[in-house]
């Protein structure tokens, strides 16, 4: 309890201080600084990393954006979901098909892929968000599995072999294709930053507040006169759009998408990342996503493909050591610092 | 008195059963616009259940509810709240993981802004914050807007409840034991808030503290075992034998009202 208190800025909580906006003034500056440093590190990765680790970083970013969309539902709105892979897949396949038949422009693919993810989320969410808790989890699991099986049976998109032969993206229509790994990575990073910022803006908006209201007391929110169904459906649609954007980034990085990329393990890893990183904070789950990809694809490579097993071990340890996820530890140390000063 | 002859709430033969238990049993009651009305009754009488049915959380087994001349029996809780019929909860029901200010903002946002806008708007959000701060000020919680609700004392939570219903721009507020758990000062403050409400807001309060009942109410209804057994001015109720029976199983008025008079 006391660890979460720091989130609300108790430090400036003196009686007779109605200037409430000043309470959060120092922290945004610090946050901005940290964000800029992290962004600089991410931007400079191509100067340090070889092509393979760099492509891994690109995939981690695309996966990280998928995790952000899962966190919007799980952490912010309090509705754990396994279905975001479906909208991730919608974005990825749409972007791939657009790339093969319409335009190699990443911007065009991003827009259409995001819309595809949002549209599918709107359609399926209309039913899904009527439920809650374990039923919602099961319905979203079914949505993910249906997408996984469905796309694997359509020959036009390569069925279970996946969609191959996707050309490298260019930024703008008719631009140079991004064949240099560093440029490609920067494009994926750009999509990630756009998606993350969209989620951060949403998080600070009235809808974000209403979403937290759904999490903490949906019935109470209704008693205040809010139509919680539309709150949930709008949020679900936006989260679907974010997942779709993540799918376009994934395809841009890998130039390949197959049903295996939207399987149950992907959905479970995304939810795992949210738990590892700290549900509700947006940046924590992104770190969780990086950790998951690192353990599974990098460390896992050294022990002959036992990445998933290793991940299970990491998860069990993490739940004991960091019950609030990565975001949880960070806050605790910040609090210690602020109480010392 | 500015009370008109126009009932804002008209309850007709309202019944709610939980299986074999009839918690609200054929209640018929009219509340005039602008009234200061108290609902009392022993524990388990069905007061909170009646509030739940009126607010729309619980569905009536039979009977009708008219609010402001309109049949609202079939309307959802949210729809009734939007018409101005809101209540506080006997067991505080707040957004515990959110700040005090955000709790009130959620109520304000629905009335004066756009609770589903997915991006910030500095000017409108500022107006929401200012309105929320005004409500917090009126309940005396201005000093702690950024505290998490989960970190508040019981009495403070009750105050947040009050701020939230006031932020709903209500036409009628149902207060369910608002002062339970409040300190004497907080209780007094609550009474002052109700006294300062404009007369266009109708108030019904369920209260065990009879000092508060007699201070605020112009009319008192008594519920026992789901049935309305008395309805009248505070003076009538004080001297009503059936009320004594229901409360204490005796007809000694002093036992019940001695402290209040
Ligand atoms: N959800 C429910 N299911 C079954 N029985 C219920 C339910 N809610 C309340 N009851 C029963 O209905 C009766 C009325 O309860 P209610 O809470 O309305 O009483 P009350 O007058 O508010 O009492 P108090 O003064 O203790 O708050 C009680 O016997 C209670 O046990
Ligand atoms: Mg009660």
Is A60 part of any domain? Answer: yes
Band (B246; pLDDT cuts 50, 70, 90): confident
Instruction: State whether A205 and B111 contact (CB < 8 Å).
Output: no
Q: Name the closest residue on chain B to residue A2, using Cα atoms.
A: B151
Q: Are B104 and B167 in contact (CB under 8 A)?
A: yes
Q: How many whole angstroms separate alpha carbon A75 and alpha carbon A318? A: 17
Query: What residues of A are in contact with residue B75 (Cβ under 8 Å)?
Result: none
Determine how many CB atoms are found less than 10 A away from the CB of residue B247.
17
Determine how many CB atoms are found less than 10 A away from the CB of residue B175.
27
Determine how many CB atoms are found less than 10 A away from the CB of residue B66.
16
Determine how many CB atoms are found less than 10 A away from the CB of residue B12.
16
Is A205 part of any domain? Answer: yes
Instruction: State whether B118 and A226 contact (CB < 8 Å).
Output: no
Per the listing, tokens 């903002």 go with B105
Ligand 1 atom at minimal distance to the Cα of residue B223: 21
Domain that holds residue A53: 48-261
Band (B223; pLDDT cuts 50, 70, 90): very high
* Ligand closest to CA B41: 1
Query: DSSP secondary structure string, B152-218?
Result: S-HHHHHHHHHHHHHHT--SEEEEESTTTT--HHHHHHHHHHHHHS-TTSEEEEE-S-HHHHHHH-S
C-alpha dist (Å) from residue A277 to A7, A71, A198, B65 = 16, 10, 19, 49
Using DSSP, state whether A192 is helix, strand or coil. Answer: helix
pLDDT digits (tens, 9 = 90+) for A90-137: 999 999 999 999 999 999 999 999 999 999 999 999 999 999 999 999
The rounded Å distance from CA B260 to ligand 1 centre is: 26
Q: Which contiguous run of DSSP H or E holds residue B100?
A: helix B100-112
Is A341 part of any domain? Answer: no
Q: How far is CA B35 from the centre of its chain?
A: 13
Is A43 part of any domain? Answer: no
Q: Give burial (CB, 10 Å; 0-12/13-18/19+) of B258.
A: exposed
* Ligand closest to CA B53: 1
Band (B256; pLDDT cuts 50, 70, 90): low
Residues across chain B: 261
Q: Are B93 and B153 in contact (CB under 8 A)?
A: no
Is A237 part of any domain? Answer: yes
C-alpha dist (Å) from residue A36 to A40, A43, A63, B175 = 6, 10, 21, 50
Q: How many whole angstroms separate alpha carbon B76 and alpha carbon B83? A: 11
What ipTM describes this predicted complex? 0.89
Each residue's pLDDT expressed in tens, for chain A with a length of 341 residues: 333 333 333 333 333 333 344 344 457 788 888 889 999 999 999 999 999 999 999 999 999 999 999 999 999 999 999 999 999 999 999 999 999 999 999 999 999 999 999 999 999 999 999 999 999 999 999 999 999 999 989 888 888 888 988 999 989 888 888 888 899 999 999 999 999 999 999 999 999 999 999 999 999 999 999 999 999 999 999 999 999 999 999 999 999 999 999 989 899 999 999 988 888 888 889 999 998 888 887 777 777 767 677 777 877 787 777 777 777 665 545 555 544 44
pTM score, whole prediction: 0.88
Phi and psi torsions of B99, nearest 5°: -70, 160
Q: Which chain A residues in 97-136 lie under 8 Å from chain B, judged by CB atoms?
A: none
Is A159 part of any domain? Answer: yes
Of A111, A78, A95, A101, residue with least CA distance to A232: A78
Number of structural domains (chain A) is 1
**Average of per-residue pLDDT across B77-95:** 93
Is A336 part of any domain? Answer: no
pLDDT digits (tens, 9 = 90+) for A246-286: 999 999 999 999 999 998 989 999 999 998 888 888 888 99
Is A227 part of any domain? Answer: yes
């Amino acid at each position: 309890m006391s660890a979460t208190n720091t989130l609300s800025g108790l430090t400036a909580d003196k009686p007779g201080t109605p200037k409430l906006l000043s309470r959060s003034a120092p922290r945004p500056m610090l946050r901005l600084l940290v964000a800029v440093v992290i962004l600089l590190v991410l931007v400079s990765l191509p100067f340090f990393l070889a092509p393979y680790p760099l492509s891994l970083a690109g995939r981690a970013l695309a996966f990280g954006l998928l995790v952000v969309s899962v966190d919007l539902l799980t952490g912010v709105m309090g509705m754990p979901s396994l279905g975001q892979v479906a909208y991730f897949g919608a974005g990825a396949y749409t972007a791939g098909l657009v790339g093969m038949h319409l335009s190699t422009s990443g911007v065009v693919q991003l827009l259409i892929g995001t819309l595809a993810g949002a549209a599918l989320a709107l359609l399926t969410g209309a039913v899904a968000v009527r439920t809650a808790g374990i039923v919602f989890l099961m319905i979203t699991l079914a949505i993910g599995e249906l997408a996984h099986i469905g796309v694997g049976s359509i020959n036009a998109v390569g069925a279970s072999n996946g969609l191959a032969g996707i050309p490298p993206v260019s930024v703008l229509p008719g631009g140079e294709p991004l064949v240099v790994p560093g440029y490609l990575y920067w494009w994926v990073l750009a999509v990630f930053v756009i998606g993350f910022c969209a989620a951060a803006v949403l998080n600070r908006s009235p809808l974000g507040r209403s979403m937290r209201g759904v999490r903490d007391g949906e019935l109470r929110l209704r008693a205040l006169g809010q139509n919680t169904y539309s709150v949930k459906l709008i949020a679900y649609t936006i989260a679907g759009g974010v997942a779709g954007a993540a799918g376009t980034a994934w395809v841009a990085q890998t130039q390949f998408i197959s049903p295996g990329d939207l399987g149950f393990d992907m959905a479970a890893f995304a939810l795992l990342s949210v738990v590892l990183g700290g549900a509700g904070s947006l940046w924590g789950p992104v770190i969780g996503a990086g950790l998951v990809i690192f353990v599974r694809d990098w460390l896992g490579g050294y022990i002959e493909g036992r990445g998933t097993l290793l991940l299970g071990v990491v998860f069990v340890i993490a739940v004991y050591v960091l019950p609030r996820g990565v975001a949880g530890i960070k806050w605790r140390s910040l609090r210690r610092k602020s109480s010392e000063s | 008195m500015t009370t008109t002859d126009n009932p804002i709430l008209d309850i007709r033969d309202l019944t709610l059963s939980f299986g074999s238990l009839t918690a609200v049993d054929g209640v018929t009651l009219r509340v005039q616009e602008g009234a200061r009305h108290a609902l009392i009754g022993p524990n388990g009488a069905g007061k909170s259940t009646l509030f739940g049915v009126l607010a729309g959380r619980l569905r009536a087994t039979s009977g009708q509810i008219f609010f402001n001349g309109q049949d609202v029996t079939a309307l959802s809780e949210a729809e009734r709240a939007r018409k101005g019929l809101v209540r506080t909860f006997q067991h505080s029901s707040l957004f515990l993981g959110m700040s005090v200010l955000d709790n009130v903002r959620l109520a304000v946002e629905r009335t004066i802004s756009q609770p589903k806008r997915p991006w910030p708007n500095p000017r409108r959000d500022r107006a929401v914050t200012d309105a929320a701060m005004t409500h917090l000020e009126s309940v005396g919680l201005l000093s702690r807007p950024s505290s998490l609700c989960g970190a508040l004392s019981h009495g403070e939570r009750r105050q947040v409840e009050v701020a939230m219903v006031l932020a709903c721009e209500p036409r009628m507020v149902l207060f369910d034991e608002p002062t339970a758990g409040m300190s004497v000062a907080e209780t007094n403050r609550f009474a002052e808030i109700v006294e300062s409400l404009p007369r266009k807001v109708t108030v019904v309060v369920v209260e065990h503290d009879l000092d508060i009942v007699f201070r605020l109410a112009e009319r008192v209804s008594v519920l026992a075992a789901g049935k309305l057994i008395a309805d009248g001015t505070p003076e009538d109720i004080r001297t009503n034998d059936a009320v004594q029976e229901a409360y204490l199983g005796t007809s000694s008025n002093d036992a019940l009202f001695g402290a209040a008079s």
